[in-house]
Amino acid sequence: MSERMTIRLDRTVCDGFGICAKHAPKYFSLDDWGYASLVGDGTVAEEDHDAVMRALLDCPVHAIMEVGEHRPAGTHPVSSTAVEDPAAGIKAEDNEAEWGFTR
Ligand code: SF4
C-alpha cells in the first residue's frame, strides 16, 4: 500500500521559526532570513510521513498544510465559514385577494 501525502506551504503565513526544517530538512529549506520554502513539489515519500507530520503540527503559525489527493486544488480547507440556508430568509407573500361582495 502506498499512501501518498502532499503538503503545501503558505509562505505568506510562515513566520520564520525554522522548526519545519529542523524536523524534515529534506522537505523544507530555509532562506537567509529563516523563512521556509518547500523542497520539491510537496510530495512526501512514505517513510518521511512522520517527520513531515511533526513539522506540520509543530509549525507555530500553521503555514504547512496537507493537501488531500481527492480534494480539488484551490479550495482553502482552513476557512470554514458557515453556509447559511438560502431558503431561510424567503418569505412567502400572499396576494391578498379582494373579496367581492354580491348584493
Ligand atoms: S515551522 Fe512554520 S513558521 Fe517556521 S519556518 Fe517552517 S513554515 Fe515557517
9-28 pLDDT, tens per residue?
999 999 999 999 999 999 99
Torsion angles phi and psi, residue 32, rounded to 5? -60, -25
Are 21 and 52 within 8 A, CB to CB?
Answer: no
For residue 69, how many other CB atoms are within 10 A of its CB?
A: 9
Are 14 and 63 within 8 A, CB to CB?
Answer: yes
Percent of the chain with pLDDT over 90: 60
61 lines ligand 1 (CB under 6 A): yes
Q: Does residue 47 carry a pLDDT above 90?
A: yes
Report residue 46 as a C-alpha cell.
512514505
pLDDT category at 77 given cuts 50, 70, 90 is: low
Torsion angles phi and psi, residue 96, rounded to 5? -75, 110
Q: Which CATH fold topology does 6-67 show?
A: Alpha-Beta Plaits (3.30.70)
CA of 26 to the centre of ligand 1 (A): 14
State mean pLDDT over 46-74: 87
